[in-house]
Structure 1
Amino acid sequence: MSLKGSMTTCSGLEWNDMLGLLHHLKRDQKLKEYLVIATGCYLGLRAKDLLSLKWEDLLDKESLTITESKTQKKRHLTINQNLTEILLYVKSRLEEIGRFNREDYLFRNRRGGRYTIQHLNGLLKDTFSHYRVKVQNSSSHTLRKTFGKRVWEMDGKSERSLIYLSEIFSHSSIAITKRYIGIVQQDIQNIYLNL
């Protein structure tokens, strides 16, 4: 955990590393870790909005509309088929052990409430450490940044993708989006490497 007022920067995962991690988590039946990483990376939500999701918000739906807690802006999200399959898998596993309720939070604590951001960050840090995933200062932002990096890379690292991401992330400029997903630092490192 960082000191109050200090700045820390976390990195996103490479998409293939994230998919590999999901594979290992599913194999090891780490359902909550599997679900949180998949949902975070496929939706690109801030932690507070991610933790507010309930099963009924996502199941049997192709899209989702939320009001972001930080900006109060409405955001419309399409639910990816891969995420739908993950949701259905975890739902079936939870039904088998009698722990599924459509009205529950997706990330429910033992008392029935939702996870805190601190709990989520600890869960991610432990998971990344256990599976030896290389990530700088892991936190809930890692999932959102993974989403951002994937969108940018899928569109050929284009300026257009940065405009889309700036809108998705509710950033005031694409310069902020570039810094957020680590493009500026990566470009600077490449300058030194290519001398």
Structure 2
Amino acid sequence: MRVEPIKDKDIIRRMLEYLGKKNPRNKVLFAIGIYTGLRISDILKIKVDDIYCRNSIQVKQKKTRFYVYIPVNKELKKIIKQYVEANNLSKHDYLIKSREGINKPITRNQAYNILNEAAEYLGLDSNIGTHSLRKTAGLNLYLASGKDIGLVMQVLGQKDPGSTLRYIGVTDMDIDKCVRKLSYL
């Protein structure tokens, strides 16, 4: 199944709100994904000390083995600060901590189920999965940067502009809509 980015900012806000009410940890999971563009495998290994009260996060990516340095957005910083302080987490705790075992992160399957439950609750009919977070971050970075595909490629570690555009969901339909809006008269 190919997952899609969440393109509607109102849906993103509603997803954050729903996840926060259901379980604040799940809101943090979602927020880290949409603000950093990290893969779920990298999000789940983050410990409190890696990101709490920091201006950037350094992560050795599981897939590529390369280090990435990502600024921590002020909104994300606030979400994390509230969560860590409300749950009295120590600096050695996993941020996305499972209720099972002692100081273990949730599994990828749990993360997938959390996101799918929220998507179902909100009535989303598109394919939502853990990779949707990364694609959502990429799409919104693309739009926020004035459509600087090079910047998005660098953040996501992509090598080809065309595949990056497809990856973040800039589809033929979007291109068709844009071309139809062109006017020189």
Mind listing any 5+ residue stretches in structure 2 that lack a counterpart? none
TM-score, with length taken from structure 2: 0.87
Question: How far apart in 2 are the matches of 1:9 and 1:53?
Answer: 26
State the identity as a percent: 21
Question: How far apart in 2 are the matches of 1:16 and 1:125?
Answer: 17
1:184 to 147, 168, 171: 171
Q: Is the 8 A contact 1:25 1:31 kept in 2?
A: yes
What is the correspondence of 1:120-139 to structure 2 with a 5 Å cutoff?
120-132=111-123, 134=124, 136-139=126-129
TM-score, with length taken from structure 1: 0.82
Match for residue 21 of structure 1? 15
What is the correspondence of 1:147-158 to structure 2 with a 5 Å cutoff?
147-156=137-146, 158=147
SS at match of 2:63: coil
Deviation at 1:101, TM superposition (A): 2.4
Match for residue 102 of structure 1? 91
Deviation at 1:47, TM superposition (A): 0.9
Deviates more, 1:135-144 or 1:40-49: 135-144
Question: How far apart in 1 are the matches of 2:67 and 2:27?
Answer: 27
Question: How far apart in 2 are the matches of 1:34 and 1:67?
Answer: 23
Question: How far apart in 2 are the matches of 1:135 and 1:115?
Answer: 25
Q: Is the 8 A contact 2:19 2:118 kept in 1?
A: no
- Matched to 2:162, the amino acid is A
> Is residue 31 of structure 2 the alignment partner of residue 42 of structure 1?
no
Q: Is the 8 A contact 1:12 1:142 kept in 2?
A: yes
Change (3 A) 1:177 1:88: same
1:171 to 145, 158, 173: 158
Q: Is the 8 A contact 1:65 1:76 kept in 2?
A: yes
Match for residue 5 of structure 1? none
Q: Is the 8 A contact 2:56 2:70 kept in 1?
A: yes
- Matched to 2:10, the amino acid is N
> Is residue 83 of structure 2 the alignment partner of residue 90 of structure 1?
yes
Deviation at 1:30, TM superposition (A): 2.1
Question: How far apart in 1 are the matches of 2:38 and 2:162?
Answer: 20
Q: Give aligned pairs, total.
A: 178
- Matched to 2:168, the amino acid is I
Deviation at 1:185, TM superposition (A): 3.9
| Residues 19-50 of structure 1, C-alpha deviations (whole Å, 9 max, x = no match) | 23223433x25212211111111111011111
Deviation at 1:175, TM superposition (A): 1.1
Question: How far apart in 2 are the matches of 1:182 and 1:72?
Answer: 26
